[in-house]
Amino acid sequence: MSSASDVSVLAEFAASVEMGGLRAEVVETAKACVLYGLAVGIGTRRARPAVLAASASGEETVAKGATRFLDGRMTSHGSAAFVNAVLLSGRVQGDSHPCGHLGGVVIPATLASAERTGISGKHTLSALVAGYEVALRIGRDHAADLSKRGFRTTPCYGVFGAAIAAGRAQRFDTNRMASAIGLAANYAGGLREYVDAGTEESPFQAGFAARNGLYVADLVAQGLNAARTALHGKAGFYRAFAEDGIDYGKRLIEGIGTQFEFTSVTYKQYPACQFLRGVIRGLAELRKRAPAATPTLIELRMNPYEADFIGVRYMGPFTSPTQTVMSAPFCAALAWATGTASFDGLRTFDDVAVLGLIPKIVVVSDDARALYEPHIKVALSDGEILRWEERAGDSSYRVTWDAAVQMTRQLCDEVAVPAALAAQLIERAQNLDDEPNVAPLVAAVCAAARA
């Protein structure tokens, strides 16, 4: 069973991880995650959530704090992290893992902390890796059970990542890192009920997790001590958020420092649920084979965890993107009708072509399908049957540097950001480990977000 000593090992890793000691591919993945996450934020600039977050925080400009990407205003680091996390999470396209979309929390928290403390780009990347890795290790064997109880993974694990990243920026020792983990456990939360309700909580959960993680680090910096048993104790995080008697932390420290869970995070081609990437891509490809044909049936065979996940089977009525981005029938119909699942398409609720297809779509829970490997069958009115299946799981969607560059250009182009500003952002992210601070990167993302 996991124990307080495991938390100490996690804390020691978080306090000591250095970019200079990591393999080149690990460093490249860290920079790719930063670039991709910021590009998603730029692609979200015309969405409603970040504007609401900025209006609600409403702080006067301060002399020393952190920058809000949306408007370039310098505010308190907690306020900046909140607004920036909402921005990066507002189109449901951030990096993905079974533990959630942690880049939308960890990246804003890391950059806000880096601005406030003035640390180097290399130190910033060290903080980022520490935050990602600790949060994902805490959640990787626990996420499925947490979700089944109605909690959302992104804020529940994201607050750990934000606290650890902020602590690394402040050069916490092992004892303080352990307290940061313990205190962060007290601020984990966020429900999935918004999916059924069709409401807007999702990006704000990421904002609260980022902000609360920074406050956790500040309290620990002032000397607050928290329980080392907050994860696995009889009244701890794992017991409170899932089943009793299961060792959810059995792999908590396995291979730590040499094996990096964060290198398995993936990107999304489309601003929809990660379970539906293959569904959308598959229907778009099948449509090319018979562009003028009319389907009489579209069968989606999915892993039971995906098929039965909250919102995935929803058939309408559709009144908000919260419903469409999770709905396999809507995303499949949109992909067949338009050849993709675009930001605007997922916010168009009265398209007759899309709505007419939805009753013809069946979602099948199939134990033979692995996660992220849907099988699609399309029956056409002329009797022809088309088939497509995903065989590579999520491995073909890893956040590599090349993928991050490609998605940055795609997202910036979508919202009419000049190519020169996109290129500048790519360059700043690529050279982050050579910079004395994060100012050039922050300036580049603000320029693109405000173009």
pLDDT at 368: 96
Element (H, E) at 194: helix 193-197
Q: Are residue 103 and residue 177 in the same domain, yes or no?
A: yes
Q: Are 282 and 314 found together in one domain?
A: yes
Last residue of a domain, one of 355, 377, 392: 392
Tell me phi and psi for residue 386, to 5 degrees: -110, 140
One pLDDT digit (tens) per residue for the chain, 451 residues: 456 799 999 999 999 999 999 999 999 999 999 999 999 999 998 888 988 999 998 777 777 899 999 999 999 999 999 999 999 999 999 999 999 999 999 999 999 999 999 999 999 999 999 999 999 999 999 999 999 999 999 999 999 999 999 999 999 999 999 999 999 999 999 999 999 999 999 999 999 999 999 999 999 999 999 999 999 999 999 999 988 888 888 899 999 999 999 999 999 999 999 999 999 999 999 999 998 899 999 999 999 999 999 999 999 999 999 999 999 999 999 999 999 999 999 999 999 999 999 999 999 999 999 999 999 999 999 999 999 999 988 888 999 999 999 999 999 999 999 999 999 999 999 999 999 999 999 999 999 999 8
- Please check whether residues 247 and 357 belong to one and the same domain: no
pLDDT at 3: 67
Statement to judge: residues 263 and 281 lie in one domain: no
Instruction: Answer yes or no: are the C-beta atoms of 172 and 225 closer than 8 Å.
Output: no
Residues in contact with 55: Cβ distance below 8 Å, sequence separation at least 6, in sequence order: none
**Residues 205 and 254 both lie in one domain:** yes
Domain count for the chain, please give it: 2
Q: Which long-range contacts (CB under 8 A, 24 or more apart) does 69-78 make?
A: 69/38, 69/41, 69/442, 69/445, 69/446, 69/449, 70/45, 70/449, 70/450, 71/450, 72/446, 72/450, 77/112, 77/113, 77/115, 77/116, 77/214, 78/112, 78/211, 78/214, 78/215
| Enclosing domain of residue 179 | 4-267+398-449
Q: Is 406 exposed, middle or buried (0-12, 13-18, 19+ CB in 10 A)?
A: middle
Mark whether 252 and 297 lie in a shared domain: no
Strand bridging mode 74-75 / 295-302 = unpaired
User: What pLDDT does 1 receive?
Assistant: 47
Q: Which of 347, 369, 392 is the last residue of a domain?
A: 392
* 240 & 142 share domain: yes
Per-residue tokens: 70 = 């949306």
CATH number of the domain that residue 292 is part of: 3.30.1330.120
* CB-CB contact of 252 with 6 (8 Å): yes
My answer on whether 388 and 242 are in the same domain is no
End-to-end alpha carbon distance in the chain: 52
Residues 193 and 330 in one domain: no
Q: For residues 428 and 420, what is the distance between their CA atoms, to the nearest angstrom? A: 12
Provide the angle, in degrees to the nearest 10, between the axes of the packed helices 419-430 and 401-414. 150
**387 and 428 fall within a common domain:** no
> Which of 66, 117, 24, 166 lies closest to 436 in space, CA to CA?
117
For residue 425, the domain's CATH number is 1.10.4100.10
Q: Are 130 and 160 in contact (CB under 8 A)?
A: no
DSSP state of 351: -
Q: Are 112 and 11 members of one domain?
A: yes
Q: Which of 369, 392, 415 is the last residue of a domain?
A: 392
Same domain, yes or no: 241 and 283: no
